[in-house]
DNA sequence: GATGTGATTGCAGCTTGTGCAATCACCGTA
DNA sequence: TACGGTGATTGCACAAGCTGCAATCACATC
């Protein structure tokens, strides 16, 4: 028989999400999480740099997908459209079918300032990565940064709406709406 | 004679900034900071919620000024222009004459992921406050959010440039340039 | 002169996070 | 089958961040 039960990281994430959801992030200790996942504290910190990171297991993959999609896109597209198209593709691939889980996770994050800060950090890193991908194509760093930031702003507005109870439109449609609104508001 | 030396919070901030600048945020302990400021750890945590917060003493005042300036502005201005005007005024009042100190502080923050996350949190809170101030005037929440986010994006681009060594233009001018670039990129 | 206020302090204790060494199933190779 | 390397997990000791509670005592007020 195997020495350990498989999927330690996933078990830790699941246990953590359940506990954070029930009793809040601050009122949950790492000791409780590892007890539920039948592991030890040391193992928790082998998998995750800190207590917050357990909720962001997929963000690096998300960033890779988006950057790849930008690089694979049509070079003739204006920078903002290039990013938006990539976000559409990834929204369909990684979000659309998991609205309930994603909304649940987002509620946990939104309920705690520390987790919110971590998410902002991930978003900022993603924005930088997008800007770098754009710059590899179009050149000008400031344009790349502004296009990346604008796209992420629209994405954020769309995501907020998408996780509202009762909302049924797809994230892709909401993103396109948000881009239209942004063009009106800025232009 | 007075029981304690005055301005404890300011002394703590000064001591912390010096130490962070010399040896980095992570390599500096709260014990070192309070020793330099001639206070105790308990007093440090009476003044600041955590070790990072010592670098953000002025951010609440900054937020108040900007929100007040938006409320005091011309009601007929489109939302983005209303925010930009407020940012211009506050840039002149609180930043323009302190480029060296501000750049120094920004370098310390940029050098550490934890501090960067905290700054992103402050910026997000400021964006929400701006959006709320706009919404009190123009109504639509999504437009308010997008205008606030777009203005903060331009502000961020301008600030980056303003703190570059050798840059001599004013933050106000750089902000207006960034808004123009944003309009081009988005529109 | 009595009294209340508030900034500071000491201390005990919990939680997060790290370095280092040890364990032991699994895998490839001889 | 035997053998040695790999890698995920663990225990332990410890630094550092942060909190609750009670005590101090200059200062202001009456």
pLDDT, tens only, B98-124 = 999 999 999 999 999 999 999 999 999
**Alpha carbon of residue B23 to chain centroid:** 23
Statement: residue B1 has pLDDT above 80:
no
Report the distance from CA of residue B4 to the C1' of nucleotide C4 in Å, as an integer.
Answer: 20
Domain that holds residue B102: 58-186
User: Are A80 and A110 members of one domain?
Assistant: yes
User: Are B77 and B154 members of one domain?
Assistant: yes
Instruction: Compare CB distances from A150 to B143, B145, B186 and report the shortest one's residue.
Output: B186
C-alpha to C-alpha distances, A131 to A33, A42, B134, B159, nearest whole angstrom: 37, 37, 29, 17
User: Are B166 and B100 members of one domain?
Assistant: yes
Closest nucleotide to residue A32 (Cα to C1')?
A: C15
d(CA B34, CA B8): 10
Q: What is the DSSP letter of B98?
A: G
Instruction: Compare CB distances from B146 to A121, A147, A153 and report the shortest one's residue.
Output: A153
Note whether residue A3 is domain-resident.
Answer: no
CATH of the domain at A148: 1.10.357.10
Note whether residue A1 is domain-resident.
Answer: no
- 């501000």: which residue's tokens? B102
Write out chain A residues lying below 8 Å of B142, CB-based: 157, 161, 178, 181
d(CA A89, CA A151): 14
Confidence at residue B98, expressed as pLDDT on a 0 to 100 scale: 96
Statement: residue B51 has pLDDT above 90:
yes
Q: What is the DSSP letter of A24?
A: -
User: Are A134 and A172 members of one domain?
Assistant: yes
Closest CA to A151 of A75, A67, A93: A67
User: Are A126 and A88 members of one domain?
Assistant: yes
Note whether residue B2 is domain-resident.
Answer: no
d(CA B136, CA B144): 9
Q: What phi and psi values does residue B118 have, to the nearest 5 degrees?
A: -60, -40
A31 touches chain B (CB under 8 A): no
CATH of the domain at A45: 1.10.10.60
User: Are A110 and A179 members of one domain?
Assistant: yes
d(CA B67, CA B83): 9
Exposure string for B25-47, b = 16+ CB within 10 A, e = fewer:
beebebeebbebbebeeeebeeb
* Residue B2 binned pLDDT confidence (cut-offs 50, 70, 90): confident
User: Are B22 and B99 members of one domain?
Assistant: no
pLDDT in tens, chain A (187 residues): 678 898 999 999 999 999 999 999 999 999 999 999 999 999 999 999 999 999 999 999 999 999 999 999 999 999 999 999 999 999 999 999 999 999 999 999 999 999 999 999 999 999 999 999 999 987 899 999 999 999 999 999 999 999 999 999 999 999 999 999 999 999 8
Note whether residue B78 is domain-resident.
Answer: yes
User: Are A88 and A178 members of one domain?
Assistant: yes
Domain C-terminal end among B37, B54, B71: B54
Alpha-helix runs per DSSP H in B24-78: 30-37, 41-47, 59-72
Write out chain B residues lying below 8 Å of A180, CB-based: none
Note whether residue A2 is domain-resident.
Answer: no
Note whether residue B50 is domain-resident.
Answer: yes
- Vertex B160, ends A148 and B156: CA angle to 5°? 55
Write out chain B residues lying below 8 Å of A142, CB-based: 157, 161, 178, 181
Q: What is the pLDDT of residues A88-111, one digit of tens each?
A: 999 999 999 999 999 999 999 999
Of A83-92, B24-33, B61-70, B132-141, where does mean pLDDT reach its minimum? B132-141
B178 touches chain A (CB under 8 A): yes
User: Are B42 and B129 members of one domain?
Assistant: no
Note whether residue A172 is domain-resident.
Answer: yes
- 């703190």: which residue's tokens? B163
Mean pLDDT of B81-102: 97
Report the distance from CA of residue A51 to the C1' of nucleotide C19 in Å, as an integer.
Answer: 19
User: Are B72 and B159 members of one domain?
Assistant: yes
A139 touches chain B (CB under 8 A): no
d(CA B22, CA B131): 38
User: Are A43 and A93 members of one domain?
Assistant: no
User: Are A110 and A164 members of one domain?
Assistant: yes
Confidence at residue A138, expressed as pLDDT on a 0 to 100 scale: 78
Note whether residue B34 is domain-resident.
Answer: yes
Mean pLDDT of B7-21: 97
Report the distance from CA of residue B40 to the C1' of nucleotide C3 in Å, as an integer.
Answer: 29
B103 touches chain A (CB under 8 A): no
Helix (H) or strand (E) holding A116: helix A113-138
B1 versus B140: the higher-pLDDT residue is B140
Number of domains within chain A: 2
Statement: residue B88 has pLDDT above 90:
yes
A109 touches chain B (CB under 8 A): no
Confidence at residue A88, expressed as pLDDT on a 0 to 100 scale: 98
Report the distance from CA of residue B54 to the C1' of nucleotide C6 in Å, as an integer.
Answer: 21
Confidence at residue B3, expressed as pLDDT on a 0 to 100 scale: 87
Confidence at residue A1, expressed as pLDDT on a 0 to 100 scale: 67
Confidence at residue A139, expressed as pLDDT on a 0 to 100 scale: 82
With a CB cutoff of 8 Å and minimum separation 6, the contacts of B33 are B12, B15, B16, B19, B44, B54
C-alpha to C-alpha distances, B81 to B88, B113, B155, nearest whole angstrom: 10, 32, 13
Closest CA to B60 of B144, B125, B155, B146: B125
């Amino acid at each position: 028989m195997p020495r350990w039960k498989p999927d330690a990281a996933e078990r830790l994430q699941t246990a953590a999400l359940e506990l954070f959801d029930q009793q809040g992030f601050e009122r949950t200790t790492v000791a409780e999480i590892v007890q539920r996942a039948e592991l030890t504290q040391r193992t928790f910190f082998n998998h995750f740099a800190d207590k917050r990171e357990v909720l962001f297991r997929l963000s690096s993959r998300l960033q890779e997908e988006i950057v790849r999609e930008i690089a694979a896109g049509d070079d003739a597209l204006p920078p903002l459209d290039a990013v938006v198209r990539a976000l559409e593709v990834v929204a369909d691939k990684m979000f659309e079918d998991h609205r309930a889980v994603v909304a649940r996770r987002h509620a946990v994050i939104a309920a705690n300032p520390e987790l919110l800060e971590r998410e902002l950090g991930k978003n900022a890193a993603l924005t930088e990565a997008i800007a770098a991908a754009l710059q590899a194509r179009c050149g000008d760093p400031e344009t790349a940064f502004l296009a990346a930031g604008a796209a992420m702003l629209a994405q954020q507005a769309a995501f907020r709406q998408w996780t509202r109870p009762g909302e049924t439109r797809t994230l892709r449609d909401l993103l396109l709406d948000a881009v239209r609104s942004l063009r009106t508001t800025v232009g």
